[in-house]
């Protein structure tokens, strides 16, 4: 099984975020779950990769060619796939993955989350989607999504496709069951 991780490339986040995402990457490798990600060495993406690499896990980076600069990409990937565009990158990550995990991140992470959720709502895939809600990071987003459904702008069933966890092990238990 391979799971795609969407998360921050920013290095400005506080230490608890890094620790939890590092533990997630390590736990994925311990369970022999391959990590598919956007290729970056920094931020929470890099933390997940360092955790997976510590346990010799499979790490597949997917990055547009314009990211191929000194220090930008994680250099211990099992495989690095280059695309021409960000859109091709997301498609490749989706195709390689049996599910999706969203960890704290910024606009790019939110865009990836909403695209994969929209595709699920449109029945373009049935892969599990899980949020690792570290320190309540996504509480406001979850409240907004609940409001969107309550106001009739989306079907509540679409939101039920997303499962939320505060601990990596519980999230991975769910992903292993749901991806079968």
Q: What is the CATH number of the domain that holds 55?
A: 3.40.50.450
Mean pLDDT confidence for 85-107: 96
Domain ranges, residue 100: 2-178
Mean pLDDT confidence for 165-169: 97
For the cut 90, the answer to whether the pLDDT of residue 150 exceeds it is yes
pLDDT tens for residues 104-137?
A: 999 999 999 999 999 999 999 999 999 999 999 9
For the cut 80, the answer to whether the pLDDT of residue 13 exceeds it is no
- Residue ranges of E strands in the chain: 2-6, 34-37, 59-64, 79-83, 100-102, 129-132, 162-165
Confirm whether pTM is higher than 0.85: yes
For the cut 90, the answer to whether the pLDDT of residue 14 exceeds it is no
Q: What pLDDT is recorded for position 71?
A: 85
* Domains identified in the chain, total number: 1
CA distances from 4 to 11, 15, 112 (A): 20, 22, 11
């Amino acid at each position: 099984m391979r799971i795609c991780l969407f998360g921050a490339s920013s290095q400005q986040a506080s230490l608890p975020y890094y620790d939890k995402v590092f533990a997630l990457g390590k736990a994925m490798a311990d369970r022999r779950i391959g990590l598919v990600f956007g290729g970056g060495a920094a931020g929470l993406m890099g933390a997940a990769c360092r955790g997976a690499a510590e346990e010799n896990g499979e790490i597949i980076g997917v990055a547009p060619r314009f990211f191929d600069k000194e220090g930008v990409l994680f250099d211990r990937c099992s495989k690095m796939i280059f695309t021409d565009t960000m859109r091709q990158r997301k498609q490749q990550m989706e195709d390689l993955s049996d599910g999706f995990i969203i960890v704290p991140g910024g606009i790019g992470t939110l865009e990836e989350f909403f695209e994969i959720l929209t595709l699920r709502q449109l029945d373009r895939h049935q892969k599990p989607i899980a949020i690792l809600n570290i320190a309540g990071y996504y509480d406001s987003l979850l409240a907004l999504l609940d409001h969107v459904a309550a106001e009739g702008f989306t079907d509540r069933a679409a939101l039920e496709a997303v499962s939320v966890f505060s601990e990596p092990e519980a999230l991975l238990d769910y992903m292993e069951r749901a991806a079968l």
